[in-house]
Amino acid sequence: MGSLLKLTDTTKQFQGLRAVDAINLDMKENTIHALIGPNGAGKTTTVNMITGVHSVTSGTIEFDGHDITGMPTYKIARLGIGRTFQNIKVFPTMTLLENVMVGGHQCTKLGALRTIFDIRGAKREEEMLKEKAENILKKLGLYELRNELMQNLPYGRQKISEIGRAMMTDPKLILLDEPAAGLNPSERGELIKVIKAAYGEGLSFFLIEHNMDVIMSISDYITVLSFGKLIAEGTPQEIQNNPEVIASYLGEKYKQKMAEE
């Protein structure tokens, strides 16, 4: 298995604070890779560096054989990285279908002038986008809601729709920033189903999550951060039994709970 996402000595310095300290991370193709750690460990900062939202202080980031360090966000996205946000970022005044269709804009070709005058071409493109978005919404189980305004949908649905928008860009990798936060148990179940299904179709996921049930049930490999430093990596089994991880993040209670089960 080749490497899909590779961080080498990646560091982010915010004035006095070293939010991410020279971490090395190698994510393989066709995996679901989780990044966990206590609050303030630098997880979201890492994702923001990967997507070009934050500049990288030192070190490099490679994706799919390209060096993406310091690239603008939209170019990184075009290489095949999609993303959802910790605090959802949707378009509340547009319908669910339109929200998802926005994700496909980059895959279309017609410029503004041709959109105006090439009536048939524009229609064909629009229908193509619509069909693609509808198919994705069917996979996400949101098809029935497609004509609802985003602002009228419950939080959990909005959150899942972000995955749909990311899928519209035909990515190889989707970064999920705390996808389960704020979801109720049944929505969490749906989320796991959606991620697994997409994974089955060849998508890779890199996720930040606090919910251990979600993490342990879907991830192949886990990296643990604490105070900007990488403290452990391994399979879910290895991580659960790693004393340092238990001490700094999972806690003794978690170990006892696991032992009971």
Interface with other proteins, residue 137, by CB under 8 A: no
Distance CA 82, CA 114 (A): 28
Residue (83 or 157) nearer to other proteins, CB: 83
Q: Which of residues 166-185 bind other proteins (CB under 8 A)?
A: 166, 168-169
Part in contact with other proteins (CB under 8 A); list of ranges 83-91, 206-214, 235-243, 251-259? 83-91
Q: What is the dihedral of CA 96, 100, 102, 107, to 10 degrees?
A: -160
Q: Give me 212's structure tokens.
A: 């251990």
Shortest CB 82 distance to other proteins, Å: 7
SS (H, E, C) 240-254: HCCHHHHHHHHCHHH
Chosen residue from 37, 42, 59, 82 binding other proteins by CB under 8 A: 82
Interface with other proteins, residue 94, by CB under 8 A: yes
Interface with other proteins, residue 102, by CB under 8 A: yes
Interface with other proteins, residue 159, by CB under 8 A: no
Strand (E) or helix (H) holding 93: none
According to DSSP H, which parts of the chain are helical?
A: 43-50, 73-79, 96-102, 112-117, 119-140, 155-167, 185-200, 212-218, 236-240, 243-245, 252-260
Chosen residue from 18, 54, 78, 172 binding other proteins by CB under 8 A: 78
Shortest CB 24 distance to other proteins, Å: 25
Angle subtended at Cα 224 by Cα 219 and Cα 226, rounded to the nearest 5 degrees = 150
Which residues of the shown chain bind other proteins in the complex (CB under 8 A)? 51, 53, 72-75, 77-78, 82-83, 85, 89-94, 98-99, 101-106, 108, 110, 112, 115-117, 119, 122, 125-126, 129, 162, 165-166, 168-169
